[in-house]
Chains A and B, each alone.
Chain A
Amino acid sequence: MGTLSIPLHYFLILAAVLFGLGVIGVITRRNAIVIFMSIELMLNAVNLTFVAFSNYLNNVEGHIFVFMVMVVAAAEVAVGLAIIVAIFRLRETVHVDDIRLLKW
C-alpha cells in the first residue's frame, strides 16, 4: 500500500474554510432557504473531515458516520423545506426577520 502525494492536513484546512463560509452564510443571510443551504455547506465540511480522519486512522467508522450524517441531512431538508413552504403560505415571506412570533 503506497501513499498519494497530498498531505492530509490540506483536506482538514479545506474543511475548516468551508465550515467558516457556512457560518458566515448563517449569520449574514436573511433568506431562510439560503440559511438552509449554508447549513448544508457546514455539514459537508464536517463530512470531509470525517473521511480524511478515516483515511488517517485506517478505520471504516468515519465513512459510516458520513452515511448517517447524509441521512440526517436529507431528513432535515425535507422537513425544513416543508416548514418553509407552510410559513410562506401563511405569511407570504421567507425572510427570517419577518417571522418573529416566538421572539421576544
Chain B
Amino acid sequence: MAIEEILFWFFAVAAVAGGLGVVLHPNPIKSALFLVMTFFALAGEYILLMGHFVAIVHIAVYAGAIMVLFLFVIMLLNVPEETRQGGVWGAMRYVALGLFVFLSFQLSYFGFQDFFGDKQQLVKETEIGTVESIGMSLFSEYVLPFEIASILLITAMVGAIYLSKSKLIIEESKKKKAVEKEDH
C-alpha cells in the first residue's frame, strides 16, 4: 500500500469519526470540537487531491473563523445537553438511519460505477489547484462572481450586526405586547 493510500485512509477514518461525533454527541460543545476534527481531516483530503489553495482556505475559513463563531455562540448561550427524544423523534432516528444507508449506497455504488465504468480512475498530479492557477482564473475569467461575493459578505455582515442588536429586538417585542394589551 502506497503512502498516499495510507494517508487517505487515515484522513477518511478521522473525517467519518468526526462526523459521527457531531451527529451523535449530546453536548453541543463537543459536537463543535468533533466538527473541527472533520475539517482538518478534509483539508488533508484536499491536499491529496492536489487542491492546495482550497486546503489552506478551508482551514483558515472553517476551522479558524466559522468554528470560533460556533463555539462563541454555544458558550454565550449556555446551551444545555440535549436529552434523548421520545415519540415521533425517537422513531425519526430509524428513518434517518435508513435514509443514510440508502443515500450512501445509491450515491457511492450505482452512480459512480456507471460513471467510471470498469477502469479505475486514479488521482492525477496536476497544477490546477495551486494558488497561482486559481488566482489567475479568479481575477480574469471569474472576476465578476468574485466581486459579487464581496457584496454578499458585506450584506451578511450588516445583517448579522442588525440582528444582534439586543435593545432593538427586546424593546420591539415589549412594545408589541403592550399594544396588544391595550387593544383588549
Which residues does A use to contact B, with CB under 8 Å?
1-14, 16-25, 27-31, 33-34, 36-38, 40-41, 44, 47-48, 51-52, 54-56, 58-61, 63-64, 66-68, 70-79, 81-86, 88-90, 94, 97
Contact = CB atoms under 8 A, between A and B. Distances in A.
Contacts of A63: 51, 53-54, 128-129, 134
29 contacts: A1-B126, A2-B124, A4-B2, A4-B4, A4-B123, A7-B123, A10-B8, A17-B108, A18-B19, A23-B100, A28-B93, A29-B23, A31-B28, A34-B82, A36-B70, A40-B35, A51-B54, A54-B51, A54-B129, A55-B128, A56-B121, A60-B137, A61-B137, A64-B134, A64-B145, A70-B62, A79-B156, A81-B70, A90-B169
Contact residue range for chain B? Answer: 35 or more
B54 A17 contact: no
Given A27-B96, A48-B42, A85 B128 contact: no
Contacts of B120: 7, 9
Contacts of A31: 28, 79, 82
User: Interface on chain A toward B: helix, strand, loop, or mixed SS?
Assistant: helix
Nearest to B51: A51
Given A48-B42, A94-B77, A55 B49 contact: yes
Of B20, B54, B134, B137, the most chain A CB neighbours within 10 A belong to B54
What are the 7 closest A-B residue pairs judged by CB atoms, nearest first? A75-B156, A16-B107, A82-B163, A13-B108, A21-B19, A3-B122, A20-B100
A37 B160 contact: no
Interface of B: 2, 4-5, 8, 12, 15-16, 19-20, 22-23, 28, 31-32, 35, 38-39, 42, 45-46, 48-51, 53-54, 57-58, 61-62, 65-66, 69-70, 73-74, 76-77, 79, 82, 85, 89, 92-93, 95-97, 99-101, 103-104, 107-108, 112, 116, 120-126, 128-129, 133-134, 137-138, 142, 145, 149, 152-153, 155-157, 159-161, 163-164, 166, 169-170, 173
A89 B166 contact: yes
A17 B104 contact: yes
Contact of A70 (B20, B58, B92, B93): B58
A42 B65 CA distance: 18
B54 A34 contact: no
Contact of A37 (B31, B108, B173): B31
A5 B120 CA distance: 10
A37 B61 contact: no
A4 B89 contact: no
B108 A94 contact: no
